[in-house]
């Protein structure tokens, strides 16, 4: 078991109606609030009106229009400018992972005199950040319980995971009823994203029985509950369990004591969504079974056997490689069953930029240090196999 250093300062308020505590939580921080949100789903669902009614007495500065795969320009830059000009005390992020990730970059940028890109690219370490409170409307990324945000810069095809311990939200409001309106496509993509977060912590060299069981329960819970959410979008118990499993996905808790995996699936997917602006969870689901096939070997087979037997109930009496192959096939079949397009061509990606993306990943994602090291040729092969 590896040493670890773990602290998550975020307060989680989970369940129906927790939003009523919003004025009290924000009031303890400050009076001028940057209300950050996306393309309008919160207006359609009525959450926007509810939030404004709770913010009576606060000064509200709005930052609307944050897109999926949030963009540095204009959203981060606009948000930083508004915070500085209007003396914002706290950012209230209402939406999915994209709104929250954008809010994190804004929080750091607002307390920095130079170009916020210096912070996102780690040229400069932030000394301070504005506090963030969020109301999550989509179960997927785990951004509500971690200190990372992923920011895209269109002109350079960069999609960078910006991590800094100053960026943990102060408080996350997690009311599963706000996810009832999430589309089937985004529900499935959210499940694939969260399952991948667990895979990136499960598929590693050194782990514990405790963690393996925790991860395996996470996979099973996500698979069962996502299907229930797709059948009945207003199934509170299913939405709640899905939200809880997603929230734990990215803050390291599934991997405490494990050796690092290098997060190869995310390293590869970030290029796909940077170059083609696709939905993150779909890109991950497409790449996953091809990556699994690529890294399956005498050295890794036991890990896939454990995954196959404990997550999918594959017969442990079968030969090892047969169990592993079945585990990979069942992973593919599950993603397909929940409606995810399983080829890059299905999401508008063809052969033309595969080599360029593979080079970008090899140069920027450090996957030569992954559980199974991946170099440019490996990445290109995985991407071609995914076409
Ligand atoms: O923009 P609006 O109108 O709000 O619509 C959104 C958006 O179109 C919609 N939506 C959100 N809540 C809804 C809803 N529609 C109906 N009802 C609701 N309740 O869903 C669409 C997608 O939203 P988005 O926020 O982009 O999805 P998600 O939460 O999956 O976030 C994806 C982003 O997070 C990054 C990804 O790379 C991607 O940029 N990630 C962040 C991580 C982190 N901070 O730890 C880790 C992840 O690995 C991931 O990389
Ligand atoms: Zn992810």
Q: Judge if 213 and 322 occupy the same domain.
A: yes
Three-state secondary structure of the chain: CCCCCCCCCCEEEECCCHHHHHHHHHHCCCCEEEEEECCCHHHHHCHHHHHHHHCCCCEEEEECCCCCCCEHHHHHHHHHHHHHHHCCCEEEEEECHHHHHHHHHHHHHCCCCCCCHHHHCCCCCCCCCCCEEEEECCCCCCHHHCCEEEEEEHHHCEEEEEECHHHCCCEEEECHHHHCCCCHHHHHHHHHHHHHHHHHHHCCCCCCHHHHHHHHHHHHHHHHHHHHHHHCCCCHHHHHHHHHHHHCCCCCHHHCCCCCCCCHHHHHHHHHHHHHCCCHHHHHHHHHHHHHHHHCCCCCHHHHHHHHHHHHCCCCCCCHHHHHHHHHHHHHHHHHHCCCCCCHHHHCCCHHHHHHHHHHHHHHCCHHHCCCCCCHHHHHHHHHHCC
Q: Judge if 187 and 167 occupy the same domain.
A: no
Q: Whose CA is nearest to atom 49 of ligand 1?
A: 141
CB-ligand 1 contact for 150 (6 Å cutoff): yes
Residue 313 counted as domain residue:
yes
Residue 3 counted as domain residue:
no
Please choose, from the candidates 45, 47, 55, 46, the residue with its C-alpha nearest in 3D space to the C-alpha of residue 22: 55
Number of domains in the chain: 2
Q: Judge if 188 and 41 occupy the same domain.
A: no
| CATH value at residue 16 | 3.40.50.1970
Q: Given the structure tokens 């782990």, which residue do they identify?
A: 207
Domain end marker among 151, 178, 205: 178
Please choose, from the candidates 209, 31, 45, 72, the residue with its C-alpha nearest in 3D space to the C-alpha of residue 137: 45
Ligand nearest to the CA of residue 270, numbered in listed order: 1
Residue 5 counted as domain residue:
no
Q: Judge if 152 and 196 occupy the same domain.
A: no
Domain end marker among 178, 206, 228: 178
CB-ligand 1 contact for 246 (6 Å cutoff): no
Which atom of ligand 1 is closest in space to residue 37's alpha carbon?
4
119 within 8 A of 129, measured Cβ to Cβ: no
Domain end marker among 178, 197, 217: 178
Ligand nearest to the CA of residue 71, numbered in listed order: 1
Please choose, from the candidates 20, 10, 235, the residue with its C-alpha nearest in 3D space to the C-alpha of residue 132: 10
Ligand nearest to the CA of residue 135, numbered in listed order: 1
Cα–chain center distance at 375:
24
CB-ligand 1 contact for 252 (6 Å cutoff): no
Ligand 2 mean position, distance from CA 18 (Å): 26
Residue 22: which domain range? Answer: 11-178
| CATH value at residue 318 | 1.20.1090.10
**Residue 258: its pLDDT value, please?**
96
Residue 115 counted as domain residue:
yes
Q: Judge if 203 and 304 occupy the same domain.
A: yes
Does this model's pTM top 0.95? My answer is yes
Q: What is the pLDDT of residues 8-51, one digit of tens each?
A: 999 999 999 999 999 999 999 999 999 999 999 999 999 999 99
Q: Which of 43, 63, 75, 140 to mutate to test the pocket of ligand 1 (most atoms within 8 A of CB)?
A: 140
Residue 156 counted as domain residue:
yes
Q: Judge if 282 and 326 occupy the same domain.
A: yes
CB-ligand 1 contact for 218 (6 Å cutoff): no
Residue 2 counted as domain residue:
no
- Residues in the chain with pLDDT values less than 50: none
Q: Judge if 48 and 130 occupy the same domain.
A: yes
Residue 132 counted as domain residue:
yes
Q: Judge if 17 and 79 occupy the same domain.
A: yes
Question: What is the spatial distance between Cα 115 and Cα 74, in angstroms, rounded to a whole number?
Answer: 13
Q: Judge if 202 and 158 occupy the same domain.
A: no
**Residue 298: its pLDDT value, please?**
98
Residue 367 counted as domain residue:
yes
Which atom of ligand 1 is closest in space to residue 196's alpha carbon?
48
Q: Judge if 119 and 190 occupy the same domain.
A: no
**Residue 329: its pLDDT value, please?**
98
Q: Judge if 254 and 319 occupy the same domain.
A: yes
Q: Judge if 132 and 281 occupy the same domain.
A: no
């Amino acid at each position: 078991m590896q040493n670890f250093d773990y602290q998550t300062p975020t307060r989680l308020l989970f369940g129906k109606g927790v939003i009523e505590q919003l004025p009290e939580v924000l009031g303890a921080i400050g009076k001028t609030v940057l209300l950050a949100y996306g393309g309008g789903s919160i207006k359609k669902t009525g959450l926007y009106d509810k939030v404004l009614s709770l913010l009576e007495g606060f000064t509200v500065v709005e930052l609307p229009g944050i897109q999926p795969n949030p963009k540095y320009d204009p959203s981060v830059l606009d948000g930083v400018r508004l915070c500085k000009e209007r003396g914002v005390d706290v950012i209230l992020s209402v939406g999915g992972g994209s709104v929250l990730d954008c809010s994190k970059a804004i929080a750091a940028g607002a307390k920095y005199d130079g170009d916020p890109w210096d912070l996102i690219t780690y040229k400069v370490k932030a000394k301070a950040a504005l506090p963030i409170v969020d109301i999550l409307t989509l179960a997927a990324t785990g951004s509500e319980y971690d200190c990372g945000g992923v920011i895209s810069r269109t002109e350079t095809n960069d999609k960078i995971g910006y991590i800094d311990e100053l960026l943990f939200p102060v408080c996350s409001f997690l009311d599963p009823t706000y996810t009832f309106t999430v589309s089937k496509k985004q529900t499935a993509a959210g499940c694939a994203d969260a399952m991948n977060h667990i895979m990136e912590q499960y598929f590693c060299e050194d782990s514990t029985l405790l963690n393996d069981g925790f991860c395996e329960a996470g996979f099973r819970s996500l698979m069962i509950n996502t299907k229930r959410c797709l059948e009945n979008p207003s199934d509170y118990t299913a939405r709640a369990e899905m939200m809880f499993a997603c929230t734990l996905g990215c803050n390291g808790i599934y991997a405490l004591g494990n050796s690092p995996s290098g997060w190869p699936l995310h390293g590869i997917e970030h290029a796909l969504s940077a170059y083609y602006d696709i939905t993150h969870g779909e890109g991950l689901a497409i790449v996953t079974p091809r990556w699994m096939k690529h890294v399956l070997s005498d050295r890794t087979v036991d890990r896939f056997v454990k995954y196959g037997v404990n997550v999918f109930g594959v017969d442990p009496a079968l030969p090892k490689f047969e169990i592993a192959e079945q585990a990979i096939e069942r992973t593919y079949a599950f993603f397909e069953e929940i409606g995810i397009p399983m080829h890059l061509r299905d999401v508008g990606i063809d052969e033309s930029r595969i080599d360029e993306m593979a080079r970008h990943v090899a140069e920027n994602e450090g996957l030569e240090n992954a559980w199974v090291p991946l170099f440019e040729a490996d990445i290109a092969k995985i991407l071609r196999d995914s076409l």
